[in-house]
Structure 1
Amino acid sequence: MSRSFSFLVNPLSGGGTAARVVVPLARRLREEGAEVEVTYTGSVDEVPALVAAAAAADAVLVAVGGDGMVSSVAGEVATAGGVLALVPAGRGNDFVRQLGLPHDEAAQVEMLLHGEERRIDLLAAASGGVETFVAGSVYCGVDARAGELVNKAHWLPSKLQYPVSTVRALATYRPFDLTLDVDGVRTEHRAACVVVANSGFYGKGVHIAPAAVVDDGELDVVVIEAAGRIELIRSLPKAYDGSHVDLDEVTVLRGRKVAISGAYRGGATVPVGADGEPMPALGPDAPLGVEVRPGAVRILG
């Protein structure tokens, strides 16, 4: 039985890359006899109804965009009991990198038509009274600040947006006081950042949690302790190959449920991000909770 597909495309992803990717891909699938519907939307408010319609029609929901698009769709697909497929067309594409999914059109057609389903975990992040599903990771501190800068760096060439924003964030960062509870075990830190990861990659190829696996039912929690700004910038290359976890300043924990509280000294709030999108800031009266949802969503590839 041939599959049918409902493409959900963010036309702004990757500076317009998504729109350019989907047209030839949809044409190839139709040539193979598949039913294909394409919807363009940049509004997260439209996602639940579009996902529910795809699931009701027994169509694979194909998310075409970046990591933020993946997270906005994955939880809705899980709730609707549908099947998800991913076509990378964003700036980072870190979740696709973690899954090892193809970027070339021919391999994508093969995956969509004949790829096997598997179940993967999602994160449920609760902050500011709102719970949201996240595919890749949730993070607080200097990396969330870098994400804020990336989202304002459209004036830079795409290849430079992440590295320039990361160096800018590191050059101006402030450490914050952090209380971390992982499955009931509490630790205290003065940190540059903390990452709660389902996927090992973020920030366009930074291998922040090299041991992370998306279907093991556990979270990898990476704490980078406070250090000098120059020292952090010099150690940045180690994060791309995952060797930073061997540094004395890095702590790696594993668990299923994480609670984070903290603030900058003086009580100022700490920025929080999730798969490239901002979340409510961490503050004295605004903790962050993250739990794993094992096998929450079915995905192709």
Structure 2
Amino acid sequence: MTSEITLFVNPTAGRGRGARAAQPAASALRAAGFSVRTVVGENAADALTRARDAVASGTGALIAVGGDGMAHLALQAVAGTRTPLGLVAAGTGNDFARALGLPLGDPAAAGRQIAESLKGARLRDVDLGHVNGTWFGTVLASGFDSRVNDRGNRMRRPSGRVKYDLAMLAELAAFRPVRYRMTLDDGETREIEATLIAVGNGSSYGGGMKICAGADLGDGLFDITVVGPCTRRTLLRVFPKVYRGTHLSHPVVSVHRAAGVELVADGLTGYADGEPLGPLPLTARCVPGAVRVAIP
């Protein structure tokens, strides 16, 4: 593997933490003997073009510095190639890094760990989800949670996580279950009412909410969590359990495992890794070993 690697930086991640994290990560990588080139795009589309160019030119690794949004963007450049992906978690959620067992909030340690992984060829091929030409590492969300995202994205104030807490309260006031048509790869179609359906390649979203707590990045399958129709009161009781993953035992929750799923519903936007995919219907498939990552 070449010693020339690419640092892929989002300077706005985590209110500027991305830019601040880039320097100690780069220093750790250079101290380990790597030649580091930094890529910062003018916008997401430009950044992705630059990252893809780096991969096509034979960079030894693409190291994404930022949160889940930056990891998601990096996946679009490296998925399906043999170029290793490293993550320096410097965002708000960091769910993909968390699923991989990577350091959170310590860019120098992350840089050292990535260097050790690359030099020792300690790399792991992990699964990704693929939907409408887009790769995702964590969870495809639809339903109540995606409506919270929709509302939060429309709000100008406040900023950060508080905005989405307020959006959740507003969505609770207007809450209604959604009628879905869900088809798994066994070919059986289920007509169901649900509060939300989450398709998990990874186990968590939203900064550690273990909505698909049993998901495994290496089993070639999605864990599909269905929260059935419930009252606002029940939803408020179940929701805090998501942070521990104990909601899966609640009677309104069911889990399906499949390599592919189609979701059809009216008036819903799908989100993957927290990024909007577009309206349902959406068809997702789990692609085994789609990306090579530098791991502890």
TM-score for the superposition, normalised by structure 2: 0.90
Do 2:87 and 2:110's aligned partners in 1 also have CA atoms closer than 8 Å? Answer: no
Provide the secondary structure at the position in 1 that maps to 2:75: helix
Instruction: Return the offset for 1:159.
Output: 5.0
State the partner residue of 2:196: 193
Moved more, 97-106 or 47-56: 47-56
Write the deviation string for residues 144-200 of structure 1: whole angstroms up to 9, x where unpaired: 112234435564364534444333333332221111111112222111111111000
State the partner residue of 1:36: 36
Instruction: Return the offset for 1:33.
Output: 2.6
The question of 1:57 aligning with 2:58 is answered yes
Distance 1:138 1:202 in 2: 9
Distance 2:12 2:174 in 1: 29
Distance 1:19 1:154 in 2: 23
One-letter amino acid of the structure 2 residue matched with residue 167 of structure 1: L
State the partner residue of 2:126: 120
Moved more, 73-82 or 162-171: 162-171
One-letter amino acid of the structure 2 residue matched with residue 56 of structure 1: S
Provide the identity percentage: 34
State the partner residue of 1:289: 283
The question of 1:276 aligning with 2:282 is answered no
State the partner residue of 2:109: 107
One-letter amino acid of the structure 1 residue matched with residue 294 of structure 2: L
Provide the secondary structure at the position in 2 that maps to 1:14: coil
Distance 2:16 2:153 in 1: 15
Query: CA RMSD, aligned part only?
Result: 2.0
Do 1:55 and 1:77's aligned partners in 2 also have CA atoms closer than 8 Å? Answer: no
The 5 Å alignment of 1:1-301 reads 3-41=3-41, 42-103=43-104, 104-115=106-117, 116-126=122-132, 131-152=133-154, 155-156=157-158, 158-183=160-185, 184-263=187-266, 269-282=267-280, 287-301=281-295
Q: Which runs of 5+ in 2 are unaligned?
A: none
Distance 1:132 1:64 in 2: 20
Moved more, 88-97 or 114-123: 88-97
Instruction: Return the offset for 1:226.
Output: 1.6
Normalized per residue, the structure richer in strand is 1
One-letter amino acid of the structure 1 residue matched with residue 191 of structure 2: E
TM-score for the superposition, normalised by structure 1: 0.88
Q: Which runs of 5+ in 1 are unaligned?
A: 264-268
CA 1:66 to 1:23, structure 2 compared with 1: closer, same or farther past 3 Å?
same
Residue correspondences, number: 288
Do 1:143 and 1:169's aligned partners in 2 also have CA atoms closer than 8 Å? Answer: no
Provide the secondary structure at the position in 2 that maps to 1:178: strand
One-letter amino acid of the structure 2 residue matched with residue 278 of structure 1: P
Distance 1:191 1:145 in 2: 13
CA 1:144 to 1:180, structure 2 compared with 1: closer, same or farther past 3 Å?
same
